[in-house]
Amino acid sequence: MNGPDDRPSRAELDREYSPSHLVPSLGRYLDEYAARSAEARRAPGVRTGLRYGPGAADRLDFWPAPSGPAPVQIFVHGGNWQELTERSSAFSAPAFCEAGAAFAAVGYGLAPGTPLDGIVAAVRRCVRWIHDRADDLGVDPRRMHLSGTSAGAHLAAMTMVPEEPGEPPAADLLAGVTLLSGIYDLEPVSRCYVNDALRLDEDAVRRNSPVGLLPATAPPVVLARGGVETGEYVRQHDLMAAALRRRGALAADIVEGDRDHFDLPYDLADPSTPLGRAVLEQMGLADDERGQRPAEVTA
C-alpha cells in the first residue's frame, strides 16, 4: 500500500528492484556467467589481475585484440554494487575478440566496504588507466567504448558526469557508451533494501544520480533493456532515454522483447541481435551481411 505522498512503499520497491523474481533461476545465470568467463580466460594472451588503482579490488582482466591498435570494449558488471567481480564478467570477451576488438572486464570495490562515491571513482579511474596505457595494451585510444549492466550501467553512466564543476568527465575519452537495464535515478533505491548496503543519504543520491547530472554533450549511447523487466527498470530506462535524446546522444534505444535483466548482456557482441548489432556498429566492427533478431529499436 502506498504512503500518504503516493510513493511506492518499501515492500513495493524491494520487489521492483529485485528483477530476479521475474526469472526461473538467478543461480543458473550466475553459474553461467562464471563458467563462460572461466572458459574465456583460457584464451591465449589474456592478462588477468591488472591493477588500475590503489584499491584491493581495482583490478581488470584484459583480452587483447587479434591485431592492434584496435577498439576496446570495457565492461562493468552489475550486482547491486555489492556482488560479483570481474572474474564472472568476461562472457562477452571471445565474441569481441573475434570481431577484432580488445575487451576488459572491470573489477571494483563492493558495498558496504566501499562507498558508492568510491565505486564511481574507481570506474572513472579505470577508463583513464586504459587510455594512458593504450600503446601497451594494443588499444586505439580514439576507439575506447564503455558498457555496463544494471548497477554497472549506473557506473558507466556516471563516467559521463563531470567529477567537479568545470572538470571534463572521463567519458571525454570514450567513443561510445552502452547501458543495459540500468539504474539512473537513485532516489527510489535509497528507499529499498539495496540501500542497506549502500547507505545513501540525500546528498549521495543527488550526486550519484546521472540522469539529472549529464552535461550538455555526451558520447553516443546505446541504451537497452530486456522486455522482461520490472516497472521500475522500465521507468529508469525511459528517464535516461529522454535525457540522452535531449542532448542528441541517444544512438539507439533498444528493447529486446525476449530478453530479461540477466540474459540481455549475452547479446552485447552478438551481431545477430539488435543490441550486438548496435554495439558493433558503434565500434566500426559490424558485418553488413549478418541479420538481426527483431526488437523495438528507436533513436
Question: Does residue 132 fall inside a structural domain?
Answer: yes
Query: pLDDT tens-digit profile of 204-222?
Result: 999 999 999 999 999 999 9
Rounded Cα distance, 79 and 84, in Å: 6
* Cα dihedral 187/189/193/194 (nearest 10): -130
> Is position 5 within any domain?
no
> Residue 80: which residues within 8 A CB-CB, separation 6 or more?
17, 150, 151, 194, 197
pLDDT of amino acid 296? 58
Is residue 15 domain-resident? yes
Q: Are 198 and 250 in contact (CB under 8 A)?
A: no
Please give the helix or strand (H or E) that residue 225 lies within, else none.
strand 221-228
Residue 215 neighbours by CB under 8 Å, 6+ apart: 160, 161, 162, 169, 247
Please list the rounded mean pLDDT of every run of 10 residues in the chain (299 residues).
69 97 96 97 97 97 95 98 97 98 98 98 97 97 98 98 80 96 98 98 98 95 98 98 98 97 98 97 77 51
Cα-Cα-Cα-Cα dihedral sign, residues 23, 295, 233, 252: positive
Structural domain boundaries, residue 36: 10-298
Digit-coded pLDDT (tens) for 129-151? 999 999 999 999 999 999 999 99
Q: Which three cell numbers mark 102?
A: 580488445
Note whether residue 2 is domain-resident.
Answer: no
Strand partners, 62: 47, 104
Q: What is the pLDDT of residue 297?
A: 58
Asked if residue 3 is part of any domain, the answer here is: no
Q: What is the pLDDT of residue 286?
A: 79
Domain count, the chain: 1
Work out the end-to-end distance of the chain between its first and last CA atoms, rounded to an integer number of angstroms.
37
- For residues 52 and 129, give the distance between their C-alpha atoms in angstroms, rounded to a whole number: 6
| CATH code: domain of residue 160 | 3.40.50.1820
* Beta partners for residue 70, in sequence order: 139
227 part of a folded domain: yes
